[in-house]
Structure 1
Amino acid sequence: MSNSDAVDEPHAVGVAALIRRRLGECSPAERRVARTLLASYPSAGLGTVAALAERAEVSAPTVLRLLSRLGFGGYPEFQRALRDELAERETSPLTAYRASERGGTPPEGALPRAAAALPDAVAGTLADLPQGELDAAVRLLADQQLRVTAGGGRFSALFANYLVLHLMQVRGNSRLLPAGPVERADMLVDVGRRDLVVLFDFRRYEEPTLELARQVTARGARVVLFTDRWLSPVAGLAEVVLPARVDSPSPYDSFVPTLALVETLVTALMDRLGPVAGARLKAMEGAQQAFGGR
């Protein structure tokens, strides 16, 4: 990788996503550093090289070899990338709105801005996604012995609901995490090794989502995470991480790429299930007709 790639690629996909993408290329010692970084991201990378090496139980040269493999010219360059990400991941709609006000009203209208931003964001999301992560998510969802529970935040819960509605159609044994505390406790009290929890968590990450991930993984459940390129703290607990870009024509992050990612996952799942998905769809249509559904 050239020096220009060392700057451009982390900016495009995020440092954590880049680490996950290159994990399979690493030596065992480098993987220990990578997993240490991901488990406490980004704070684990903001200390000294010696501190990170000690935490990962490797030598300082091993840390530097990993960073070189990722395309960084050294530890200072790696830390600059992390600090830039920290600034970006703390951006709120209000901050973005004020920045756009200072820049004045764009000369083009909303439609041209959307036409410029959204297709690139979708294409970039799908191009950046490691095939191995998508395959791992499909394998888990295709295992019908696993009960699937999906949940999200204020906005991203919409995508948890959208995913579950598809899973009900093609594989069953899937449910949406309720908002109410009593209903949520009832649903989660028996979570264990036969559970798969799909979480949606995007920047300005929600602490209850992280705590939920801690609780369910401690009970043996597995987690699939949909997040942005800066990666939710849940990524350190997740078995599979599916990052999406959030480029938008407005001060709000766009969920259009996330929708594309969910639909890609559903498509891949149906491909894997094959006739099983078809039989389930036929049974669901029959049940809907029998019980007055549409």
Structure 2
Amino acid sequence: MTVAERIREGLGRCSPAERRVGRLLLADYPAAGLDTVARLAERAETSGPTVLRFLSRLGFDGFGDLQEALRGEIAERTASPLSLLTAEPAGSADDSLLGRAHSVLPAATARTLETLPPDEVETAVRLLADRRYRVSADGGRFTRLLAEYLVLHLMQVRGDSRLLPTQPLSRTDVLLDIGRRDVLVLFDFRRYEPDSRALAEECAEAGAKIVLVTDRWLSPISGIADVVLPVQVDAVAAAYDSLVPALAVVEVLVAGVLSASGDDAERRMTRFEEASRRHGLL
């Protein structure tokens, strides 16, 4: 488990003061944990002994143990496909392609669904289903595919949803009008893209709600997002992270919006089908 996963899992067993430490660590992850005990305690408005009790409750042997774990994660967060490929282990009990896929992908998806915070999922669904909000989505070089997949469903289920354009003039036009009635869904995975962080900061400052789907090491955007949905990325090919668990999360969100929208979704989908036939798109 990552440090973030251990914190999220352990928060329910903590005192209010200890929970403040945990929330601070998650809000400024992993940088907050690389500061001193005194500074972390000050920022969490608690004491040094409370910080150490919190870490002990999570199973860490002191502050140095926490920092060692975080430094290891930082190396993983910045790993490139090439470095992951060269670090691939020699083999496993079943080296066949389908054998590895059968072992890795279902486990990663199951682990993702088991560890997603239910309240975060509920908040994301509520925001995406609320027709008072306009939904925009974006992602990185690979994860933009997930953003598009989400938007294609939301177009049919609720409307007023769009993939942020990549053409500079069109993108500027869209971003210029983002404000309090907007929800921005971002997909940001390791080797996190500075442009995505800048986009999130600008939209959050304008009053938009930010829903982040990220990996287990947590994108820097997690510190400013309203909702954070972390997923596993264990893959069949060591060089590339898997998007299969993230795709499962997208489908969970779509199912949630469909259920929350009730008859409105059915009416929207009926009109969508009729318009598609009129325009020869079916």
**Match for residue 117 of structure 1?**
104
Q: Specify the code of the residue in structure 2 equivalent to 1:67.
A: L
State the alpha-carbon separation in 2 of the partners of residues 139 and 103 from structure 1: 45
State the alpha-carbon separation in 2 of the partners of residues 270 and 60 from structure 1: 47
State the alpha-carbon separation in 2 of the partners of residues 225 and 211 from structure 1: 14
Query: Quick one: which of 132, 155, 160 aligns to 2:119?
Result: 132
**Match for residue 263 of structure 1?**
251
How far does the alpha carbon of each residue in 1:260-286 deviate from its partner, in whole angstroms, 9 at most, with x for none? Answer: 111111112211111111111111101
**Match for residue 53 of structure 2?**
65
How far does the alpha carbon of each residue in 1:74-118 deviate from its partner, in whole angstroms, 9 at most, with x for none? Answer: 322222221221122122110011123x73799722221111111
On the 8 A contact 2:184/2:210 being kept in 1, the answer is yes
CA positional deviation for 1:61: 2.1
State the alpha-carbon separation in 1 of the partners of residues 134 and 245 from structure 2: 26
| Aligned-residue CA RMSD (Å) | 2.0
**Match for residue 33 of structure 1?**
21
Matched position secondary structure for 1:41: coil
Matched position secondary structure for 2:87: helix
How far does the alpha carbon of each residue in 1:101-146 deviate from its partner, in whole angstroms, 9 at most, with x for none? Answer: x737997222211111111111111111111111111111111100
Matched position secondary structure for 2:186: strand
State the alpha-carbon separation in 2 of the partners of residues 200 and 138 from structure 1: 16
On the 8 A contact 1:150/1:176 being kept in 2, the answer is yes
How many residues in Structure 1 have an aligned counterpart in Structure 2?
281
Percent identity at matched positions? 56
**Match for residue 150 of structure 1?**
137
State the alpha-carbon separation in 2 of the partners of residues 242 and 284 from structure 1: 30
**Match for residue 46 of structure 1?**
34
- Select between 67-76 and 134-143 the one with higher mean Cα deviation: 67-76
On the 8 A contact 2:125/2:257 being kept in 1, the answer is yes
**Match for residue 177 of structure 1?**
164
Instruction: Check 1:165–1:67 CA distance in 2 against 1; reply closer, same or farther (3 A cut).
Output: same
Query: Quick one: which of 196, 201, 215 aligns to 1:228?
Result: 215
CA positional deviation for 1:189: 0.4
**Match for residue 290 of structure 1?**
278
Instruction: Check 1:108–1:182 CA distance in 2 against 1; reply closer, same or farther (3 A cut).
Output: same
- Select between 227-236 and 265-274 the one with higher mean Cα deviation: 265-274
**Match for residue 272 of structure 1?**
260
Q: Specify the code of the residue in structure 2 equivalent to 1:181.
A: P
On the 8 A contact 1:53/1:63 being kept in 2, the answer is yes
On the 8 A contact 1:17/1:231 being kept in 2, the answer is no
How far does the alpha carbon of each residue in 1:12-63 deviate from its partner, in whole angstroms, 9 at most, with x for none? Answer: xx22244345556654433432333223211110122112112333211222
Equivalent residue runs for 1:161-240 within 5 Å = 161-240=148-227
Instruction: Check 1:21–1:290 CA distance in 2 against 1; reply closer, same or farther (3 A cut).
Output: farther
Instruction: Check 1:105–1:134 CA distance in 2 against 1; reply closer, same or farther (3 A cut).
Output: closer
**TM-score, normalization by structure 2:** 0.93
State the alpha-carbon separation in 2 of the partners of residues 240 and 57 from structure 1: 24
